[in-house]
Amino acid sequence: MRKKFVAGNWKMHGSLAVNLGLLHALREGAADLPAQVAVCVPYPYLAQARSVLNGSAVAWGAQDVSEHAQGAYTGEVSGAMLQDFGCRYAIVGHSERRSFYGDTDVVVAAKYEAAQAVGLTPILCIGETLAEREQGVTAQVVTRQLEAVLDRCGVASLAQAVVAYEPVWAIGTGKTATPAQAQEVHALIRARVARNSAAVADGLQILYGGSVKPGNAKELFSRPDIDGGLIGGAALVASDFLAICAAG
Ligand SMILES: O=C[C@H](O)COP(=O)(O)O
């Protein structure tokens, strides 16, 4: 039986002052929830997340990681540095990284590998754009994105990873995929992994991301292949995020 997992992705939001109240509210509010809970914060706030969340039920992580272990890569942050700050997770392949910063499938797979090399759990984001959905190529797109990682790291690596299906057209738009639409793609992802390993597919947490709110979380999370959510905007409001976590 897979445990539900709800992760917040703060994106480029926050300040030391604003984060403080949010982190303390999560520390207290998530104490007795059955779901696993994590927040992925901007790099400068990792120390603050560690300081407030250490010893709590809430894990923390980063929103990206370099594919390089170390060296002359100005502006990059390595997996080992994230480990230094107690991170458990690193998001890789978020559609905003893919579209704004040119992260290709190959780069995303390299980042996934770099995260795992230091013991971080990558949260691998995959998902189609609106144009791709309208062209009827959703299955091909998510399969291609997943296979980039399968080809590089093998199916066994997914036993130490989380996948997040995030249809790009649903991110920050208020347009949530219907539970049936999301379930269909989640089942397809799990079936593709099962072609390589039924056991890994069975244990794999596949999160849904894209305009998840307190009002739609329960219905989404009740679908058999939806194991929780990767939450953007609603993760910035403690009561909303905790309500979503409680739906898990
Ligand atoms: O990583 C989170 C997703 O991009 C979802 O963002 P959203 O909940 O604001 O739509």
**Alpha helices (H) in 36-178, listed in sequence order:** 46-53, 79-84, 95-100, 105-117, 130-134, 138-153
Ligand 1 atom 3: residue of nearest CA: 232
Digit-coded pLDDT (tens) for 135-146:
999 999 999 999
Q: Provide the domain count of the chain.
A: 1
Q: Report which residue type is found at 114.
A: A
pLDDT at 175 over 90: no
pLDDT at 68: 98
pTM for this prediction: 0.98
**Arithmetic mean of pLDDT over the chain:** 97
At 173 the pLDDT is 87
Q: Say what percent of the chain tops pLDDT 90.
A: 96
We report the CATH number of the domain holding residue 44 as 3.20.20.70
pLDDT above 70 as % of the chain? 100
Domain that holds residue 41: 5-246
Query: Is 172 annotated as ligand-binding?
Result: yes
Q: What is the pLDDT of residues 47-63, one digit of tens each?
A: 999 999 999 999 999 99
What is the gyration radius of the CA atoms in the chain, in angstroms? 17
Catalytic residue (choose from 67, 94, 128, 186): 94
Catalytic residue list contains 166: yes
Distance CA 156, CA 145 (A): 17
How far is ligand 1, taken at its centre, from the CA of residue 126, in Å?
Answer: 12
Measured by CA distance, the residue closest to atom 7 of ligand 1 is: 232
Q: Residues enclosing ligand 1, CB less than 6 A?
A: 9, 94, 166, 171-172, 209-212, 230-234
86 carries a ligand binding annotation: no
Ligand 1 atom with the shortest distance to the CA of 96: 4
Name the closest-CA residue to atom 6, ligand 1: 232
Element (H, E) at 73: none
